[in-house]
Amino acid sequence: MTRLSQLLLPTEKEPPSDAEALSHKLMVRAGLIRQVGAGLWSWLPAGWRVHQKVTQIVREEMDAIGAQELLMPVLLPAEPWRKTGRYAIEEMFKLSDRKGADMVLAMTHEEIVTSHVAQLVRSYRDLPLSLYHFQVKERDEPRPRAGVLRTREFIMKDSYSFDVDVDGLDASYARHIEAYDRMLDRCGIEFYRVKSDVGMMGGTDADEYMAPCAAGEDEVALAPGYAANVEVASADPAPVDLPPALDRPETVSTPGLTTVTDVSRELGVAPGALLKAYPVTVEGRGVVLVLVRGDHRVNEIKLRNHLGADVRPVRPEEIPASVGPTGFLGPVGAEVPILLDDGVGPGGYVTGAGRPDEHLRGVQPGRDFECERGDVRRVEAGDTVDGVELRIEKAIEIGNIFKLGTRYSEPLGASYLDAEGKSRPVVMGSYGLGPARVVAAAVEQFADENGISWPRAIAPYDLELVGLGKAGSEERELAEKLYKELGEAGLDVLYDDRDAGPGEKFADAELLGCPLRVTVGRRTLSGGEVEVQVRRGLEARTVPLEGAAGAVAELWKTLP
């Protein structure tokens, strides 16, 4: 129960000039957040209420699967990070204390929680165990952006599961999936769970929770029954028309034509009838020539995963002469290993000739050059999965969950004695979620031209009560009375009791986006009624003043 006249809610008519993302603009305009520095934000009272509501929902669902809340520090000794090899991470803030001891600011808490478990857990009887906390994470991001979407400091719910074996981990992982699905459903946002890259976290399996929205930094490939981050997505390519096969490759003169577009136009074939050569340097292996269809792109993450080694594009001077000059690179006669993407079907293709100003046509993989194969291309919209077309959407990552295995328990000595008295490493999972990103996603997904439209579960207040008329008028007295009654009906009300004009009050209410707006004004009061507007869709109705609080409370329960 809050009076707007008492609340620090600095709304603005105009967004910050440098804001791009919708959630950035609206959260600042609505008075929810203020910037402190690059990637550093304060949450103002109304914004913090939203954050807290998300946090509480997450807490309840974590508790429901038996996870135990604790709290670990942000400032940590460097030692455990050295043991796991993560001290070298560039994004980690590093500092030293007055004695010169190396310290770090936590980017995440695997090292510390695992150290605790190493000390405190001795027996298989102590397992399984799930621990979580809400704690600030510090990451020296190369480029913070979009308000609260990508920051250098943010609160994260991170949980960690500890099990005796992989089956136990699978069960813990499954429980977390249930908890995540429930908490995000309750928060009222759109989301999906997608397969993701395990990345540098290591481990065996990973999923991400993604919220689709325009400001998203990630791309997700979706088809019925299929959802994956584009980083790892796999699909069948759209078919391509190939020219008739030739008995042997044939040289064609293509002076100055160095791009797929140019060559396909000149030769009158589809871009997909070309093979694009993409030479890379593979750690510990040297140059490998990757070939994908001309209308496809190499996905470096999939390539790295396929090769099991770090990969970077070659520098021009590293390209072997046998592969040819840039723009005319080709596999025929190339004296380097060749990796052909699985998206390349049988048939004759156009490739660079490995000589200036010439291409070859009718080149058949296997016949005209040796190669290994692998799925290393980026999926494209229009590809198919089980015959159904794929679409690609932008989304923000709001949570990610990893099966870590023994990636941390082994270096940190987290082991237990099994029933036979034998020492075994604890098998771990880790599960992150960013409440601030849930908040930003909700703003992005439901805002309209008038402002934010919160899902009711995470709105800063259940409703905003607008009292029109002058201070001391009959309308305002009735609004005061209704304010009390709404509170008694169990609703958390923001009461706009300011001496401002109606336009300003309405505009501010819609900007802040509480799910309901109740207006006490002459127009409806003459008929003994008050107006109730549903924020999402702005549909308005009236209810009798008598019993209005109860009616509003009932209506509120039906909202998304």
Q: Is 134 helix (H, G, I), strand (E, B) or coil?
A: strand
Tell me how far, at minimum, the Cβ of 355 lies from RNA, in Å: 30
Nearest residue (CB) to RNA, 75 versus 245: 75
Rounded Cα distance, 461 and 1, in Å? 8
Any idea which residue has 């400091």 for tokens? Answer: 153
Contact segment (CB under 7 A) with RNA among 136-144, 268-276, 282-290, 343-351 equals: 136-144
Nearest residue (CB) to RNA, 363 versus 525: 525
Residue 285 tokens read as 């292996």
Specify whether the backbone of 540 is left (phi greater than 0), alpha (psi in -120 to 50) or beta. beta
Binding mask of the shown chain, residues 418 to 457, with x at each position contacting RNA by CB under 7 A:
--------------------------------x-------
Nearest residue (CB) to RNA, 97 versus 504: 504
Angle, CA of 439, 444 and 449, to the nearest 5°: 125
According to DSSP, the β-strands at 102-105 and 75-77 are antiparallel
Cβ neighbours of residue 387 closer than 8 Å, sequence gap 6 or more: none
Rounded Cα distance, 286 and 337, in Å? 9
Rounded Cα distance, 333 and 265, in Å? 25
**Does residue 540 belong to the site contacting RNA (CB under 7 A)?**
yes
* Residue choice 248, 422, 484, 523 for contact with RNA (CB under 7 A): 523
Of 249, 543, 195, which Cα lies nearest the Cα of 385? 195
* Residue choice 7, 57, 187, 201 for contact with RNA (CB under 7 A): 201
* Residue choice 114, 130, 161, 524 for contact with RNA (CB under 7 A): 524
Nearest residue (CB) to RNA, 295 versus 300: 300
Of 52, 54, 56, 74, which Cα lies nearest the Cα of 64? 56
Tell me how far, at minimum, the Cβ of 542 lies from RNA, in Å: 8
**Does residue 405 belong to the site contacting RNA (CB under 7 A)?**
no
Q: Which of residues 235-294 bind RNA (CB under 7 A)?
A: none
* Segment (H or E) for 555: helix 548-557
Of 471, 458, 462, which Cα lies nearest the Cα of 553? 462
* Residue choice 169, 288, 291, 468 for contact with RNA (CB under 7 A): 468
**Does residue 403 belong to the site contacting RNA (CB under 7 A)?**
no
Contact segment (CB under 7 A) with RNA among 48-56, 160-168, 277-285, 530-538 equals: 530-538
Specify whether the backbone of 451 is left (phi greater than 0), alpha (psi in -120 to 50) or beta. left
**Does residue 99 belong to the site contacting RNA (CB under 7 A)?**
no
Q: Which of residues 4-33 bind RNA (CB under 7 A)?
A: 11-14, 16-21, 24
Any idea which residue has 């070659």 for tokens? Answer: 314
Nearest residue (CB) to RNA, 127 versus 230: 230
Tell me how far, at minimum, the Cβ of 521 lies from RNA, in Å: 2
Tell me how far, at minimum, the Cβ of 240 lies from RNA, in Å: 25
Contact segment (CB under 7 A) with RNA among 47-55, 140-148, 238-246, 377-385 equals: 140-148
Nearest residue (CB) to RNA, 347 versus 469: 469
Residues that contact RNA, how many (by CB under 7 A): 62
DSSP assignment of 438-500 equals: HHHHHHHHH-BTTB----TTT-SSSEEEEE-SSTTSHHHHHHHHHHHHHHHTT--EEEE--S-
Contact 2, 493 (CB under 8 A): yes
**Does residue 497 belong to the site contacting RNA (CB under 7 A)?**
no
Task: Give rounded-to-5 percent helix, strand, coil for the chain.
Answer: 25, 30, 40
HEC letters along 242-276: CCCCCCCCEEEECCCCCCHHHHHHHHCCCHHHEEE
Contact segment (CB under 7 A) with RNA among 267-275, 325-333, 352-360, 467-475 equals: 467-475
Nearest residue (CB) to RNA, 151 versus 264: 151
Dihedral sign from CA coordinates of 116, 122, 126, 129: positive
Contact segment (CB under 7 A) with RNA among 34-42, 248-256, 372-380, 406-414 equals: 34-42
What's the N-to-C CA distance of the chain in angstroms?
Answer: 22
* Residue choice 9, 412, 525, 534 for contact with RNA (CB under 7 A): 525
Q: Which of residues 59-98 bind RNA (CB under 7 A)?
A: 86, 88-92
* Residue choice 191, 330, 533, 535 for contact with RNA (CB under 7 A): 533
Nearest residue (CB) to RNA, 145 versus 373: 145
**Does residue 508 belong to the site contacting RNA (CB under 7 A)?**
yes
Nearest residue (CB) to RNA, 502 versus 547: 502
* Residue choice 45, 66, 199, 382 for contact with RNA (CB under 7 A): 199
Nearest residue (CB) to RNA, 149 versus 257: 149
C-alpha distances in angstroms, 532 versus 453, 464, 488, 516? 15, 10, 18, 7
Nearest residue (CB) to RNA, 20 versus 69: 20
Say how many C-beta atoms besides its own lie within 10 A of residue 78's C-beta.
17
Rounded Cα distance, 67 and 62, in Å? 5
Residues of this chain that bind RNA (CB under 7 A):
11-14, 16-21, 24, 35, 37-40, 86, 88-92, 107-108, 139, 141-146, 150, 199-201, 217, 300, 450, 468-470, 499, 501-504, 506-508, 510-511, 519-525, 530-531, 533, 540
